[in-house]
Amino acid sequence: MPIQLRPATTADVDAVVAVFLACWRESYRGVLPDSTIDAMSDEKAQQLWERVMGSGEGEVLVAESAGTVLGVTRLAANGAEGVVHSLYVAPDSQGQGLGQLLLSAAASRLADLGARNASLWVFAANAPSLAFYRRHGWEPDGTQRTQEQFGELELRVVRRLAGASE
């Protein structure tokens, strides 16, 4: 089935939460401590995505096939700086190019919004995701953080966007 990228609507929140939780519970298992993974309850995930999708801050795109949401990305631009806040692909759909499709769409949309640079945060322990972002031109810039809600070290990765002049 062909993949369609489209803006998410509030009607997609349950499907987005399902992809998000599957990633947390399957893709992050063995990468993050079980206590961190288990702390992301169904209720927390639902509240998070309802808030994000209802806020109007930034944009959420979904990748779907035959009416099933298989991936999601959330992005926002603030002048010349863009941020990819989230990128998740359902574990049973990983390895099919959906992550690349979503990441490319997010970067293109940020460039359309006037951003020249983009950043995103990735858990430092998530070697597969770090390798994925590096393959697509995103590099760590040395900035780190640990958010209280997750308690895990994150690295910021950045890239110049297409069409950005030096």
C-alpha to C-alpha distance for 57 and 37, rounded to whole angstroms: 26
Residue 31: pLDDT band with limits 50, 70, 90: confident
C-alpha to C-alpha distance for 152 and 166, rounded to whole angstroms: 34
Q: Is the pLDDT of residue 87 over 90?
A: yes
Q: Is the pLDDT of residue 163 over 80?
A: no
Q: Is the pLDDT of residue 162 over 90?
A: no
Residue 165, pLDDT score: 47
pTM attached to this predicted model: 0.92
Task: Classify residue 28 as exposed, middle or buried by CB count within 10 Å of its CB (0-12, 13-18, 19+).
Answer: buried
Mean pLDDT across the stretch 127-153?
94
More confident residue, 47 or 150: 47
Query: Tens digit of pLDDT for each residue in 4-19?
Result: 999 999 999 999 999 9
* Domains observed in the chain: 4-116 (3.40.630.30)
Mean pLDDT across the stretch 104-130?
96
Q: What is the dihedral of CA 131, 134, 136, 142, to 10 degrees?
A: 140
Residue 149: pLDDT band with limits 50, 70, 90: confident
